[in-house]
Amino acid sequence: MKVDGSVAFVTGANRGLGEQFVRALLEAGAAKVYAGARDPAKVTVPGAVPVAVDITDHASVLAAAEQSPDVTLLVNNAGSTTRAHILTTELDSFRTEFETHVLGTLAMSRAFAPILGRNGGGAIVNVLSVLSWVSITASAGYAAAKSAEWSMTNALRVALAEQGTQVTALHVSYLATDMAAAVTGPKADPAAVARATLEGVEAGWPEVLGDDVSRRVQAALSQGPEALYPQLRGGSSLV
């Protein structure tokens, strides 16, 4: 998959990591970048093609796909967090997380898969999280949805291999964006993460690890819950 000359569609493209994906794609030579957002008037990157899309609205997803028949690279970036606590937050917040990250991403992938197939296969990037692999009580709804999105990404990778569509997952911890504005710890540069992800797509990588936290958590996966949750024995959380 070559980014130079590609036609990309990025969801959640009006701010944060999504906006940086749009900039990185154009800088890397993409022929066209559709910048999807609920309010396309908020897309400000010069050269991008604003498109209205709400990934939780199936009709909106289908309309966006119909407007973008030349896409060869889909970046499923759109998301949000309700900060749903595992014990105290109402269940509707958990439903919102799954409607957005799981069903919304699946709807986009299903709508664009035939387009990618007709255009030679192309690629899909799903923006996941380090919380795909490890959970925290204060954002358990987001983590559960991202974990389900990781599983769905793996299924998409297998299902779309026959038509030649590459599926790359991005795992990353906190980014220096509005979503993590209240976080005081280290944050990765979203522009650098976007560029690294596109490099991973061109290299054919199934997963891109965007920061040291993600690399540390992935390494602990095979060691079981005690390695993933050292706080159970008096240690510090991995995230």
- For the stretch 68-96, pLDDT in tens is 999 999 999 999 999 999 999 999 999 99
Closest Cα to residue 128, out of 112, 145, 111, 116? 145
Q: What are phi and psi of 26, to 5 degrees?
A: -65, -40
Structure tokens given for 18: 């999504």
**What's the confidence (pLDDT) of residue 194?**
97
Does residue 181 have a pLDDT over 80?
A: no
| Average confidence (pLDDT) over 189-195 | 96
CB atoms within 10 A of CB 175: 23
Reported as a single tens digit per residue, the pLDDT across 203-220 is: 999 999 999 999 999 999
**What's the confidence (pLDDT) of residue 184?**
60
CB atoms within 10 A of CB 235: 11
**What's the confidence (pLDDT) of residue 186?**
73
Which tops the pLDDT comparison, 185 or 117? 117
Reported as a single tens digit per residue, the pLDDT across 8-54 is: 999 999 999 999 999 999 999 999 999 999 999 999 999 999 999 99
**What's the confidence (pLDDT) of residue 182?**
66
Does residue 105 have a pLDDT over 80?
A: yes
**What's the confidence (pLDDT) of residue 174?**
86
pTM for the full predicted model: 0.95
Percent of the chain with pLDDT over 90: 94
| Average confidence (pLDDT) over 219-226 | 95
Cβ(179)–Cβ(16) below 8 Å: yes
**What's the confidence (pLDDT) of residue 146?**
98
Which residues have C-beta within 8 Å of that of residue 83, sequence separation ≥ 6? 89, 93, 138, 139, 141, 142
Cβ(130)–Cβ(180) below 8 Å: no
pLDDT band at 176 (very low <50, low <70, confident <90, very high): confident
Does residue 145 have a pLDDT over 80?
A: yes
